[in-house]
Amino acid sequence: MNRSILIINRALPQHWAGGLERHVEDLALGLTAAGWRVHLLSAPLSPIETHRYRDSGIEVHGAPCADPHRYSLRYLLGIGSVIERLLARERFDIVHAHEFGLGLWRPRPEAPPIVLSVHGTITSETPLHPDVYHHLTPGARIRAWIRYGRRHLYAPAWRRALARADAILIDSAFSRGELERIAPAAIAKARMVPLAVREADAPPDRAPSRAQLGWDGMQLLTIGRLEWAKGHELALEALARVRDLPWRYTIVGEGTHRPAIERTIQRLALSDRVRLTGRVSQSDKLMMLAGADLFLWPERTHPAFGLAGLESLLAGTPVLATRRGAIPEVVGDRGGWLADPDPDSFAAALRPLLADPSFLAAARPGLRESALSRFAFGRMISGVIEVYRALLTRPR
């Protein structure tokens, strides 16, 4: 008999081009391919997108209380009634929520087993994390509280969700450590299942990709939302310190921090060497990943995983990243290089790589195979299903 799963996340890739949203979609598609009947609950989708998911075997349900771009008190208070209406209408064997997805829902005793995926803790991916906040200027601290302070208001709801969950999924050893530090009682229910990305084909070849993009010489690349936490300005400051070497830098993505990044490019007189593309198609993104010489991953905060860096490794392109969060776990022993999250350290790591491109060329062979051996999509799906099955066979 096919089992039925309700996956809850505030948004999907059509709403917000983030790593979590893509992971939720990939998870749903992977579970469907494995024979599960999947329902997705998120912010409402257009009829076209709803039918697209249905054609893939996935039913989607809209939560009018969901703002795709942020969690709100309206969501926390309202999502419970949406879940209850769905449970009254459909039979689910498992409810699987991500981050704050359960809101303030109080499940009834007869509710299905609940799985909660923890993708970072209250402050891990924000400037409010203690070891990031400590280095901020007074003005930056004020901005951080304005942007992320509401997370502390949501902390009670998150802790209740941890307590209600029958199983907790974490995606990295870093997240496990954060959870143990903040909510040690939850560790007994935690199971680590590293993330992976769903891939249909091998990446495009490097030389044709560069030719089609019109790239020559040393090409550096960053892909991600344009936010302070992603560290684009850190990378730009580092690149200004190695302007005597030949390089070009492409930044892919969109976000509210774009004006600040543009001002930094102007201030550092890098306009002739840095290109902001905005969002690009999936095919263009894959070509860029395959064609780049080095992927720059200059995170300032502590990501719980990092799919963009993993995608670079899967394309066979090495990574220079900051030593933050789960990044060292993703990069691994042979995926690239790590630096401290400041421009001087990043520049010091960049200089030998740009000065002698043979370092980068030597790092490429076997990168994809190494990444797949550590982060296989099929292994992620089977790991999640194993957690589901353990709950379904456990006496309640």
Contact, 132 vs 114, CB < 8 A? no
**Block residue for tokens 């087993």:** 113
Looking at residue 154, its pLDDT comes to 82
Q: Which two tokens stand for residue 383?
A: 């790991």
Q: How far apart are CA 13 and CA 243, in angstroms?
A: 36
Looking at residue 89, its pLDDT comes to 93
Q: How far apart are CA 335 and CA 166, in angstroms?
A: 35
Looking at residue 60, its pLDDT comes to 96
Looking at residue 1, its pLDDT comes to 55
CATH of domain 4-196+376-392: 3.40.50.2000
Task: Provide φ and ψ at 219, rounded to 5°.
Answer: -115, 120
SS3 of the chain: helix, strand, coil, percent, to 5: 45, 15, 40
- For 298-325, b/e burial (b = at least 16 CB within 10 A) is bbbbbbbbbbbbbbbbbbbbbbbbbebb
Q: Which of 83, 84, 81, 29 is nearest to 54 (CA)?
A: 29
Sort 288 into a burial class: Cβ within 10 Å, 0-12 / 13-18 / 19+: buried
| CA end-to-end span of the chain | 20
DSSP labels, 349-371: HHHHHHH-THHHHHHSTTHHHHH
pTM of the model: 0.91
CATH of domain 206-374: 3.40.50.2000
Instruction: State which residues of the chain have pLDDT below 70.
Output: 1, 200-201, 396
Domain-wise residue ranges, the chain: 4-196+376-392, 206-374
